[in-house]
Amino acid sequence: MTAMATQSKIPMASESEYYEVRPIPGKGYGCFALKAMKRGTRILAEEPLLVVPIAEYLQSDIQQAFDKLSPEQKDIYFSLHSGHGQDPKLWPSRIHPTVEGKERQRIKEQHDARTGKQPSLISIFQTNCMEWNKGAAVFPNAARFNHCCNPNACFTWNSALGKETIHIMNDVEKDEEITLSYCDMIHDKTLRLWELKHYGFTCDCRACTGDEDDETTFAYHSALRRFRLQELERETRFLRGPKLYEGAVQPDFVRQLLQLAALHQEEGDYTARLASVFLDLALVCEVSGDLKMAEVAAGKAVQVKKDCQGADFPDYKKYVEVLERVKVKLGQQEV
């Protein structure tokens, strides 16, 4: 992905009716809205340029994929930002002797790419790759979006479409920069800093630069919310998924799910994670017989899911089925 550093070449983003790539003084490039857009607008659906179908990749895996590209595609790849040139002191310099073979080689290659003097196949891949099925891929247009810890857009790999999609998740004004979060939105500042170090930059968003000890700042409230979100995640993790119906009988469970949903929304985190909290809330309320509440929660789950991933996302149907089932049960109850 594009970090906040100067790029030497002109970006190759294809024409879009939703946004354009513009230079940002001192920061390289960013993607700016060509018009006001609402949550749920799909601004990009892009096929991968280069795919490495395994998670633990070596330089040779990227080379193999790169060799298949056309000369134009190779130019696009090398026009992307690279997070090389980092201070070696920022990274561990030794590898434990028990780490052997391929894993040892992988760590060394990645370290050399980060601290190397020139952009390389790996340094560009590290900086720009996004999750792709069980591996990772580079999407040159999606890679142009800068990071923000409270972004206004979100990205997802849609395997049904075979494309990476980006949706607006918080309404944007014309000329506003459109941003994505490269790290987990509920992580605290220290953890985010560490995650972003891999991309070779330090975030200057208001959650990162504000004073977390000053109650009048956004950073203070954001840090509090993220802390509570992490706590609630830990408290509810084992009662969700396959154990959801065990959770349903816990006295505090519905309240915890409602708090999770409220905090994600306050933080502007309208991603699939919020949709899944609403879905679990709907299922728990359905089981406990509170069908009115189940209907409201399922309705929200469907809306958030559609807004952040689209109605063509593989498991969207599951969300619609829950809403329809609850509606049928409610109808039967009212007869």
Q: Report how many residues bind Zn ion under the rule CB under 5 A.
A: 5
Nearer to Zn ion, 65 or 148 (CB): 148
Instruction: Report d(CA 34, CA 173) in Å as an integer.
Output: 9
- Cβ pair 12, 76 in contact under 8 A: yes
Instruction: Report d(CA 329, CA 23) in Å as an integer.
Output: 55
Nearer to Zn ion, 154 or 254 (CB): 154
Q: Kindly identify the residues of this chain, within the stretch 202-221, that bind Zn ion according to CB under 5 A.
A: 203, 205, 207-208
Nearer to Zn ion, 137 or 149 (CB): 149
* Cα 87-116-67 angle, rounded to 5 deg: 145
Name the strands in the sheet holding 42-46, side by side, starting at the edge strand that comes first in the sequence. Answer: 42-46, 163-168, 153-158
Instruction: Report d(CA 263, CA 280) in Å as an integer.
Output: 16
Nearer to Zn ion, 221 or 329 (CB): 221
Instruction: Report d(CA 125, CA 119) in Å as an integer.
Output: 10
Identify the residue whose tokens are 């807004």.
Answer: 307
Nearer to Zn ion, 13 or 154 (CB): 154
Query: Regarding beta strands 19-24 and 163-168, do their DSSP bridges make them parallel or antiparallel, or are they unpaired?
Result: unpaired
Q: Kindly identify the residues of this chain, within the stretch 134-153, that bind Zn ion according to CB under 5 A.
A: 149
Binding of Zn ion by 196 (CB under 5 A): no
Q: Minimum CB separation from Zn ion for residue 227, in Å?
A: 16
Q: Minimum CB separation from Zn ion for residue 278, in Å?
A: 26
Q: Minimum CB separation from Zn ion for residue 201, in Å?
A: 10
Q: Minimum CB separation from Zn ion for residue 208, in Å?
A: 3
Q: Minimum CB separation from Zn ion for residue 149, in Å?
A: 3
Q: Kindly identify the residues of this chain, within the stretch 259-288, that bind Zn ion according to CB under 5 A.
A: none
Quick one: DSSP state of residue 248? H
Residues that bind Zn ion (CB under 5 A): 149, 203, 205, 207-208
